[in-house]
Amino acid sequence: MVIVVFFFNFHHLQVMSCPDPATTNCTDQDRKLLEFPLNLEYLEAEFFLFGALGFGLDKVAPNLTMGGPSPIGAQKANLDPLTRDIILQFAWQEVGHLRAIKKTVKGFARPQLDLSKKAFAKVMDKAFGVKFVPPFNPYANSYNYLIASYLVPYVGLTGYVGANPKLQCPASRKLVAGLLGVESGQDAVIRGMLYARAAHIVYPYGVTVAAFTDKISDLRNKLGKAGVKDEGLVVPKFMGAEGQVIGNVLVGNEFSLSFDRTPEEILRIVYGSGNESVPGGFYPKGADGEIAKSYLVTVGRVGLDKVAPNLTMGGPSPLGAQKAKLDRLTRDVVLQFAWQEVGHLRAIKKRVKGFARPQLDLSKKAFAEVMDKAFGKKFVPPFNPYANSYNYLIASYLVPYVGLTGYVGANPKLQCPASRKLVAGLLGVESGQDAVIRTMLYARASHIVHPYNVTVAAFTNKISELRNKLGKAGLKDEGLLVPIAKGAEGKVLGNVLAGDESSLSFDRTPEEILRIVYGSGNERVPGGFYPKGANGEIAKSYY
């Protein structure tokens, strides 16, 4: 039953109107808001490049540093093959993000970064209020490195959510939506990997992985001085999605939307000082760009029917949906997604009137038809999404990604700041769901799905190819393994997150999405999961 709620993603695409006529000019404010995140993108690029390769931008893309000083104390981490593989993908994605931002705004040189063991150890000591002996070393092993990585992309994600409503120009909003999609995905991949190991006790501190994430999130809330906008992997039930679960693989507010942060809040956190005018932490000399500098200058230095019947608005119950046979971790994670989607429905309906649930077909047969089409042959026995965790995750691969690309496509067109805030919050969590599903599949990419003699990776490739074919808008979808030319910066064939040539999330129009979810390749010909067509003015305008 839980899968039902994934399918509501699509409804989110209804256009939201805003009374204020908006400017189409890119303003100076846009430029400042786009330049500010360079501070975080530099830090992530260096931390991930060094962690995976033992060297950074000075070697792989010296032009992008614009002559800024080399980072202090960054080094290669001692990582297991899967972690290293994924971190290397993130590293190249960050290089793409730096290029993408600098293509749009002039930017500034790499600020002085402190990525030494000592800088990380200080954060951990502060988070726990004790001095760890030996000091926490982010580079010592995969656990430590993932915990250290938990520190960063999430802050970037909240910053993009915060900036989006303020951006005037469609081109700026397109860039930010693409960045937000992939940053949120990185955060979700890291959280997904940590979540699977939440109960592991980190040597020699006798503290679980979950407790580390809790303490780090508490510290960030304290430093940010803007209430609770950060949550660990396990939370009190009332803070979980819809107040129903304690697992918290993705962070979200009471509507399961991503939290937003202002540049001031972000500076307080990354400086570790709780004061945007007092540099320190990873930025010993402060961050760069007009926004960050303005603070330095001032101090003279540089299953719906049952759980929420109201939300269905009386629409018909879905066909053929059933409980899946899942292992514990998969069920736990999927249940969180289910409640997050309930929150999203509430959030959207608070902002717009919305419409009743359309007729959905979630039967085994509907999924089997998609798989047969993807592979161009009839599977015997037919593919059953509910049979086990592998099948269910492969079926789940079908959905959040399409919603994500839809939000990226809608963002540049939204006129009203409140609409953009909503879409950024939705985008952050949808992208996270897609990333968690992809991570779980990625860790099992070479598993052969019984009885089809086809690997998990091949399933994802065929599904992505089918979506590209149905969408009729070129390549906007990629499986878990790609030709190296299509990997991040053309350097890797692992593809835990999909992205364009600058590692930005792809965008799709409502027409493209309808062609895909109808399975017909034609936005006027309903079918697939929507036997009677989708609802809402946009979808209805086609039939």
In angstroms, what is the minimal distance from the CB of 527 to ligand NAG? 31
CA dihedral over 24, 25, 29, 32, signed as positive or negative: positive
| 265: phi then psi, degrees, rounded to nearest 5 | -60, -40
| Residue 278 binding ligand NAG, by CB under 6 A | yes
Which lies closer to ligand NAG via its Cβ, residue 17 or residue 24? 24
Task: With beta carbons less than 8 A apart as the criterion, state whether 145 and 77 touch.
Answer: yes
CA distance 42 to 501: 18
CA dihedral over 197, 224, 160, 84, signed as positive or negative: negative
In angstroms, what is the minimal distance from the CB of 353 to ligand NAG? 14
CA distance 334 to 250: 11
Per CB under 6 A, the segment of 101-109, 149-157, 274-282, 472-480 that binds ligand NAG is 274-282
Cα-based angle 513, 168, 92 (whole degrees, multiple of 5) = 60
How many CA atoms lie less than 13 Å away from 458 in the CB half-sphere?
A: 9
The pattern of x and - marking residues 218 through 257 that bind ligand NAG according to CB under 6 A reads ----------------------------------------
| Residue 484 binding ligand NAG, by CB under 6 A | no
Per CB under 6 A, the segment of 270-278, 314-322, 431-439, 531-539 that binds ligand NAG is 270-278
CA dihedral over 46, 48, 52, 57, signed as positive or negative: negative
| 52: phi then psi, degrees, rounded to nearest 5 | -90, -35
In angstroms, what is the minimal distance from the CB of 275 to ligand NAG? 4
| AA letter at 156 | G
Tokens 């800088």 belong to residue? 119
| Residue 17 binding ligand NAG, by CB under 6 A | no
Per CB under 6 A, the segment of 19-27, 192-200, 202-210, 520-528 that binds ligand NAG is 19-27
Query: Total residues contacting ligand NAG (rule CB under 6 A)?
Result: 10
CA dihedral over 169, 501, 41, 461, signed as positive or negative: positive
| Residue 277 binding ligand NAG, by CB under 6 A | yes
Which lies closer to ligand NAG via its Cβ, residue 278 or residue 493? 278
CA distance 536 to 543: 11
In angstroms, what is the minimal distance from the CB of 225 to ligand NAG? 8
Task: With beta carbons less than 8 A apart as the criterion, state whether 232 and 250 touch.
Answer: no
| Residue 453 binding ligand NAG, by CB under 6 A | yes
Tell me how far apart the terminal alpha carbons of the chain are, to the nearest angstrom.
Answer: 29
The pattern of x and - marking residues 53 through 82 that bind ligand NAG according to CB under 6 A reads ----------x-------------------
| Residue 24 binding ligand NAG, by CB under 6 A | yes
Which of 19, 20, 25, 206 binds ligand NAG (CB under 6 A)? It is 25
Which lies closer to ligand NAG via its Cβ, residue 197 or residue 222? 222
Per CB under 6 A, the segment of 22-30, 44-52, 201-209, 358-366 that binds ligand NAG is 22-30
Enter the tokens of residue 135: 């000091």
In angstroms, what is the minimal distance from the CB of 453 to ligand NAG? 4
Q: Which residues pair with 234 in a beta bridge?
A: 247
| Residue 20 binding ligand NAG, by CB under 6 A | no
Which lies closer to ligand NAG via its Cβ, residue 224 or residue 526? 224
The helix (run of H) or strand (run of E) holding residue 208 is strand 207-208
Enter the tokens of residue 128: 């726990």
| Residue 446 binding ligand NAG, by CB under 6 A | no
Polymer length of the chain: 543
Task: With beta carbons less than 8 A apart as the criterion, state whether 100 and 183 touch.
Answer: no
Site for ligand NAG in 297-326 (CB under 6 A): 299, 310
| Residue 541 binding ligand NAG, by CB under 6 A | no
Binding residues for ligand NAG (CB under 6 A): 23-25, 63, 275, 277-278, 299, 310, 453
